[in-house]
Amino acid sequence: MTETRFTKDHEYVRVEGDAAVVGISDHAQAQLGDVVFVELPAVGAKFAKGDSAAVVESVKAASDVFAPVSGEVIEVNKAVDAQPGLINEDAMGRGWIFKIRLANAGELASLLSETDYEAFLKTLA
């Protein structure tokens, strides 16, 4: 079973082997409203955990997408480049933003589990 981890900035990371799929949570896309543009990182770009890696723009605001883990971008989702609304339709699935090769798998331990993330969201209400 693949585990999804979350940041308090509402990014998710789903590990697939030595790489991780990164995107924004369903909560984040709902808060943003209709996504109209995504600025993807360059393949080969290296980020430290917490670095701004991408930008998602909606009709309401532009929001940075922070790297939830350190590593190198190995793939970007060209589908969300062409159809940014995929993030609204399926943020946790087809609306992923980039894939990163993990530099330090130990960083995953500092991220929230799905249960902890749901509890965190309740504190925001």
> What confidence tens digit (pLDDT) does each residue in 59-98 have?
989 999 999 999 999 999 999 999 999 999 999 999 999 9
10 Å Cβ neighbour count for 86? 21
In the predicted model, is pLDDT for residue 118 greater than 90?
Answer: yes
Handedness of CA 115, 25, 98, 80 (dihedral sign): positive
In this prediction the pTM is: 0.95
Sign of the four-CA dihedral 91, 66, 79, 83: positive
In this predicted structure, the answer to whether residue 57 has a pLDDT above a threshold of 60 is yes
| All domains of the chain in start order, with CATH | 4-110 (2.40.50.100)
* Alpha-carbon span 42 to 33, nearest angstrom: 25
CB atoms within 10 A of CB 100: 25
Q: How far apart are CA 28 and CA 10, in angstroms?
A: 6
For 9-48, the pLDDT digits (tens) are 999 999 988 899 999 999 999 999 999 999 999 999 999 9
d(CA 10, CA 46) in angstroms, rounded, equals 20
- Least Cα distance to 19 among 43, 52, 54 occurs for 43
Q: Which helix (H) or strand (E) holds 82?
A: helix 78-82
pLDDT over threshold 60, residue 1: no
- pLDDT given at position 18: 83
Give the model's pLDDT for residue 13. 97
